[in-house]
Every structure is written in structure tokens, then in C-alpha cells.
Amino acid sequence: MTLSYSRVTPAGPLVTLAEAKVHLRIPGTDSDADISQKLAAAEEYVFANLGAAADPAWTSATAPRMVRNAILIVLDAFYERRGGDEGGEDLRKALEVVYRALALYRDVSIA
């Protein structure tokens, strides 16, 4: 049996690099590549958690605030815990908060 899955991806980023840097309180451009990579991963994480509730037509102007905020929370968790195992419990807590917040958008029906 072959497993298959589909994943919704937005047409463009829902949080800009500039917004991410303000959120992380990082001036300058030295960390832009690292922040951009983690921002893309954070957005992918949030969309994977939303599943079918994610709308590929969302833009940075139309996405729900909770979704944009969840991306920033995940970005912060990924960025601040990039050095190793320390902070693992903080990462788990941050991702749990995001999972619960995004539950507002997921369909809870049972097939």
C-alpha cells in the first residue's frame, strides 16, 4: 500500500522577512538567510498543522491574524532553539500553543 498526502501551500509568504526581523528584534542583514529559511519552515509547519483548513489563496493581508501569529511563534521557537538540545522543553511548549491555537480552524468532524 502506497501512502500519499497533499499539502496546501500559499501563493506567497504570509509573513515578510521585515516583519519577522521586527518580531525577533534583529536589526541589520547578517541573519537574513537564516531567518528566511526558518520563516519558510515555520510557515510550512503551520500549514501542515492546518491541513485542509489552510487556504492557498491567503496573502499577508488576508490570512487570519491567528495564523500569522502562529507563524511568528514557530519562527521564534525555531530561531531561538537553533543551537542544540537546550531549550527543548520551551520548543515543545511553543509548538503546543500553536497546535492549540490552530485548532480553531481545523475541522473536528469524524469520518
Per the domain annotation, does 2 fall within a domain?
Answer: no
Low-confidence ranges of the chain (pLDDT < 70): 1-7, 82-87, 107-111
The torsion angles phi and psi of 91, rounded to 5 degrees, stand at: -60, -45
Note the pLDDT of residue 38: 93
Q: What is the pTM of this model?
A: 0.83
Note the pLDDT of residue 108: 60
Per the domain annotation, does 10 fall within a domain?
Answer: no
Cα–Cα distances in Å, from 5 out to 2, 15, 27, 48, 90?
A: 10, 25, 39, 11, 30
Containing structural domain, residue 25: 17-102
Distance between CA atoms of residues 53 and 47, nearest Å: 8
Please report, for the chain, how many H helices and E strands are present, in that order. Answer: 4, 0
Note the pLDDT of residue 87: 63
pLDDT per residue as tens digits for the range 14-43:
999 999 999 999 999 999 999 999 999 999
Per the domain annotation, does 108 fall within a domain?
Answer: no
Note the pLDDT of residue 51: 86
Per-residue burial over 16-26, b if 16 or more Cβ lie within 10 Å, else e, is eeebbbebbee
Note the pLDDT of residue 92: 82
Number of domains in the chain: 1
